[in-house]
């Protein structure tokens, strides 16, 4: 049998044994809590990797679409794939959750994980990025820009001004240029 079966056998020994048992059981639960926190972070990370892969593919399609050899129907097909990829990004952002808690839709506001047997032994996650396409990147871009050779020639022959540019919501100074200015001249005016 056991050396200590009850308090009458060794009261001090039983108290020490109970304290150790309590500490061990608390640590067992703390390990489970820490593993839950790790699992939450891994779930978010896996979804973000998938979103990153989709964003990389969108970038590839954008570069491919910029090629002058593409026809309008080629660009429509490329744009169709981009729309599917953005829908997939939104789906992943909306549906990624851990134990019923949404992680990537902008509603996750943080969590504390009890990782020790005693009070105050916690680790926290303040927030996780909102990964919906409406929140990714905040730069403003023109939807379409087209021109003909005549428009370009007219611009090269007259003075001009570029206004209303923004990057991530920050206005960029207007840029004026003289007739015959090169793209490099205009770029230097922006910097």
How many separate domains does the chain show? Answer: 2
| Residue 86: CATH number of its domain | 1.20.1330.10
Confidence of residue 43 (pLDDT cuts 50, 70, 90): very high
Do both 103 and 190 map to the same domain?
Answer: no
Do both 162 and 119 map to the same domain?
Answer: no
Assess whether pLDDT exceeds 60 at residue 81. Answer: yes
In tens, the pLDDT along 147-175 reads 344 434 444 445 666 666 665 566 666 66
Assess whether pLDDT exceeds 50 at residue 86. Answer: yes
Do both 118 and 187 map to the same domain?
Answer: no
In tens, the pLDDT along 89-136 reads 999 999 999 999 999 998 988 888 888 888 888 888 888 888 888 887
Q: Report the pLDDT value the prediction gives residue 48, as an integer from 0 to 100.
A: 94
- Residue, of 48 and 184, whose pLDDT is higher: 48
Cβ contact 120:30 at 8 Å: no
Do both 16 and 88 map to the same domain?
Answer: yes
The phi, psi pair for 120, rounded to 5°, reads 85, -5
Q: Report the pLDDT value the prediction gives residue 166, as an integer from 0 to 100.
A: 60
Q: Report the pLDDT value the prediction gives residue 36, as an integer from 0 to 100.
A: 92
CA-nearest of 124, 104, 7, 4 to 47 is: 104
Enumerate residues 6+ apart whose C-beta is below 8 A from 65: 74, 75, 78, 79
- Residue, of 178 and 138, whose pLDDT is higher: 178
Do both 23 and 84 map to the same domain?
Answer: yes
The phi, psi pair for 78, rounded to 5°, reads -65, -40
Write down the mean pLDDT value for the chain: 79
Parent domain of 93: 1-133
DSSP 17: H
Q: What is the mean pLDDT of residues 14-41?
A: 90
Token pair for residue 62? 């954008």
Do both 19 and 90 map to the same domain?
Answer: yes
Confidence of residue 56 (pLDDT cuts 50, 70, 90): very high
Predicted model pTM: 0.61
Do both 121 and 158 map to the same domain?
Answer: no
């Amino acid at each position: 049998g056991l050396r200590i079966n009850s308090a009458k056998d060794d009261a001090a020994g039983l108290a020490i044994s109970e304290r150790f048992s309590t500490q061990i059981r608390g640590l067992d639960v703390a390990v489970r809590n820490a593993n839950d926190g790790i699992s939450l972070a891994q779930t978010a990370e896996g979804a973000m990797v998938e979103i990153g892969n989709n964003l990389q593919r969108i970038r590839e399609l954008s570069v491919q679409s910029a090629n002058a050899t593409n026809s309008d129907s080629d660009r429509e097909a490329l744009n169709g794939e981009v729309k599917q990829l953005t829908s997939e990004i939104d789906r992943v952002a909306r549906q990624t959750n851990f134990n019923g808690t949404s992680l990537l839709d902008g509603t996750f506001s943080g969590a504390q994980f009890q990782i020790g047997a005693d009070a105050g032994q916690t680790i926290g996650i303040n927030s996780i990025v909102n990964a919906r396409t409406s929140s990714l990147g905040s730069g403003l871009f023109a939807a379409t820009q087209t021109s003909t050779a005549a428009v370009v020639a007219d611009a090269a022959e007259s003075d001009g001004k570029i206004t209303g540019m923004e990057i991530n919501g920050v206005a960029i100074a207007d840029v004026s240029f003289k007739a015959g200015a090169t793209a490099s001249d205009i770029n230097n005016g922006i910097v």
